[in-house]
Amino acid sequence: MAARAPRYTAVAIVLHWAIAVAILFMIPMGLWMHESAEHGDVSARLFSAYQLHKSIGLTVLALSLVRLGWRLMNPPPPMPAHMPGWERFAAVATHWAFYALMIGLPLTGWLYVSAGWSIHDEAPLPVATHWFGLFQVPALFGLNQADLGVREDAAEAALTAHAYLAYAALGLAALHVAAALKHQFFDKDEVLAHMVPGLRAP
């Protein structure tokens, strides 16, 4: 494992911002897709949006796994000495909860589409996923070959989890941003500067 660096590595910073922007874009997109399908939209535009959502989501999954591997091999910069124990605990817990969400959110989406079952029509929906039109993504656990009852239950459970994890990600992101601003403007320490190139502690 590498020694503790005074700030995050360039790889960690690029992955952090790319994944953050993608997730914040994907949540409203997923909600819009869900509402449109619920209102009977069967347009080609919505179909393309589903494929785009799935492609970006699978990319987020791959980048999150890379990021987790990078994080395990490259310890983050030390926290400021003034931080009390509860705040250190909250920061560490939030960061690991983010990793769980960054992996769990796309995985539950992938599980949903693997079932090939529409929760809107309550009927089989065998639509293949094509990653940015380049190659076909396999169904997880061969779920698309399972009995219809299993596929229905899996689709219901996966999409419910997908939606709850998205709301949890929004809540955690709000907490995370509030903590970052507190460090920058109240504690006036270097925490935010660790992740924002060119920024200095006040």
Binding mask 59-78 for ligand HEM (x = CB under 6 A): -xx-----------------
> Does 112 help bind ligand HEM (rule: CB under 6 A)?
yes
Q: Within 145-164, which residues bind ligand HEM (CB under 6 A)? A: 159, 162-163
Contact residue for ligand HEM among 8, 12, 15, 30 (CB under 6 A): 30
Contact between 53 and ligand HEM (CB under 6 A)? yes
Residue 14 sits in the site that holds ligand HEM (CB under 6 A): no
Contact 126, 139 (CB under 8 A): no
Alpha carbon separation from 87 to 2, 92, 121 (Å, rounded):
25, 9, 47
Is residue 22 within a helix (H) or strand (E), and if so which, with residue range? helix 10-38
**Does residue number 57 form part of the binding site for ligand HEM (CB under 6 A)?**
yes
**Could you give the CA distance from residue 53 to residue 51 in angstroms, rounded to a whole number?**
6
- Each residue 129-148 as x (binds ligand HEM by CB under 6 A) or -, in order, gives x-------------------
Positive/negative CA dihedral, 141, 144, 145, 150: positive
Considering the rule CB under 6 A, would residue 117 count as an interface residue with ligand HEM? no
> Does 110 participate in binding ligand HEM (rule CB under 6 A)?
yes
Give Cα 74 to chain centroid, integer Å: 21
Per-position b or e across 14-52, b if 16+ CB within 10 A of its CB: ebeeebbebbeebbebbeebeebbeeeeeeeeeeebbbe
Binding site for ligand HEM (CB under 6 A): 22-23, 26-27, 30-31, 33-34, 37, 50, 53-54, 57-58, 60-61, 105-106, 109-110, 112-113, 120, 129, 159, 162-163, 166
